[in-house]
Chains A and B, each alone.
Chain A
Amino acid sequence: MFRHTPFRIATLLALLVGMVIASFFAGYFGLEIMSEIIVLAILVLALDLVAGFGGMVSLCHGALLGFGAYAFAVFTALLGWDPSVAMIAAIAATGAVGWIIGALCSGSHGIYFIMVTLAFGQMAYSFVFGAAFLGGDDGMSGITRPDLSAIGVDLNDSRSFVLYALVCAVIAYLFAAQFLRSGLGRSLVGVQQSEQRVRALGLVPWRTKAHAFGVSGLIAGLAGVLAAQHIMYISPGLLSWTVSGEALVVVILGGLGTLVGPLVGAVAFVLIKHEVAAVTPYWHLVVGVILIAVVMSRANGIFGFVEVRLNRRRAAKVAATDVKTDAKLGKTEGQVRDA
């Protein structure tokens, strides 16, 4: 079950402080990269919630992100709603869509679950691609950012936007962590471990799965809204299954089922992508090699790798101190063993 260990909290704080400091030193291009990291981080948070804690490996999270982005664009650019109202409505709508997809897919498992979610994602992609009122393959422009001038913040400034997106990411993280520590989140882990057993205890697994997918949809919706606000132009590419695939790669790279790991993964992924792309256009190759290495090391991603080693070292230290204390107290070896 989800726990906040000191190492996890330290990692979170380091990421947060690092981002805030970086935002004051980064130039325009750096700030763009940071916005990209934050959007991806929120998306992988949503994906880890269902994949890492519910065993629901989804290939439609790109489509959920795209749905959130398009919903925001429709509400603002087509219907002329206030961006903050549109934002809440788009997030809620994506949550509802997530719940429906989760409910419909909850009966399938493993590879079948992946395929059904992929089908949903591709359906959404094809629809948006062909829908004239959504601009078809031309996409949509004219998307506005929320007006925070009342509190003295101009979101059209890149730095302010990064900090605003960061606040959204913190809220998304706290929301996800709170969900995982709630009764519903804990029973999601039970459903992942043994659906047969929770059913025999009186829980209806599909409901728990659908609720979790709905919560994940809310978070993915937020990522979509931020993506739309960031670029202020959206295209059907956002809903592509490759976006879902990339999110899955990031979750695995960071550490599935740790919630913190995928955030580390998002930072690592975007940085590798931009740094390597500057040298060679074959940056996918480098990411691929790293992913293979991570998976073959049998560690649970970069974060899981460090976490497991730290825990082992701490356990060894505790054991060593115990023996020392016992020796000081003048216990014989036999007594220590009995204790």
Chain B
Amino acid sequence: MLEVKGLDKSFGAIHVTRDVSLSLNMGERRVILGPNGAGKTTLFNQLVGEIAPDKGTVTLGGEDITPLGVAARASKGLSRSYQKNTLFDGLSLRENLGLAAAIHTGAARSVFRDSMTDKKVCEIVEETAHLVHLLPHLDLMVSEVSYGIRRQLEVGIALATRPRVILMDEPTSGIGPEMSHAFHTMLNDLPRDLTLLIIEHDMDLAFDVADSITVLNYGEVVFDGTPDEAQGSDLLKEIYLGSWEDA
């Protein structure tokens, strides 16, 4: 579904992405692990089109999307959520999801019809709210809901464009361990045909949700395998867990 080949990026003398190749099948849930500064977010930004790579290609469903910009990639079915909440703060949760759904259905371009009462948009909003457990909160304003609910909305907005692939940047960042577990369950319950690529700090999420794990270190893929293999890998312990112990 999503294929990355030989992606390479340098900022001056700093080589942040080194010949990264990844391949995700449809419905696969892959977690990218790596210590701080491993280049995870920079890799993400190249996948969604916010940064142009120096070398390499990104293909989505067999189509080369490397030359496309952010919006064009999104309309091809590549969606993302942010590590730091990027919501429509002055609006209600329903309006947040409605905006995303309307952009997907094209209702957002209509001068005559109200996108918020559009049947298709309303359907997607309800469906998405169900998936991310926001149904009881839909009519609250973003400013009125807790941080945890905002994290759910962050993922919800990305889902409301009915994407084929979602890239999630640390979806559980900032929420406590108990809520984290509920969040993992929510991610596990997402439709199975949805392909997920998740950046994570948290090893638990990787083992709860992932079908496969990729580990980045200094911009380079140093491990690619199943969660079981990851658990037994000495290399992973050394560069990932090792760095924690050293700290």
Contacts and interface: CB of A to CB of B under 8 A. Distances in A.
B33 interface: no
Interface stretch (B107-115, B212-220, B234-242): B107-115
A199 interface: yes
B104 A202 contact: yes
Tell me if A's interface is mostly helix, strand, loop or mixed.
helix
B116 interface: yes
Interface in A1-43: 1
Interface residues of A, number: 24
Interface of B: 48, 70-72, 74-75, 79-80, 82, 86-91, 95, 98-100, 102-104, 107-116, 118, 157, 161
B88 A193 contact: yes
A187 B102 contact: yes
B102 A183 contact: yes
Contact of B91 (A193, A200, A203): A193
A183 B87 contact: no
A184 B99 contact: no
Contacts of A193: 87-91
Interface of A: 1, 178-179, 181-184, 186-187, 189-190, 193-194, 196-204, 208, 211
Given A183-B113, A184-B108, A201 B86 contact: no
Contacts of A190: 88, 91, 99, 103, 108
B99 A201 contact: yes
A183 B74 contact: no
A198 B99 contact: yes
7 contacts: A183-B115, A190-B88, A193-B87, A194-B86, A198-B103, A200-B48, A201-B99
Listed from nearest, the 4 A-B pairs whose CB atoms lie closest are A183-B115, A202-B74, A202-B75, A183-B110
Given A197-B86, A201-B161, A202-B71, A189 B91 contact: yes
Contacts of A1: 91, 95, 116
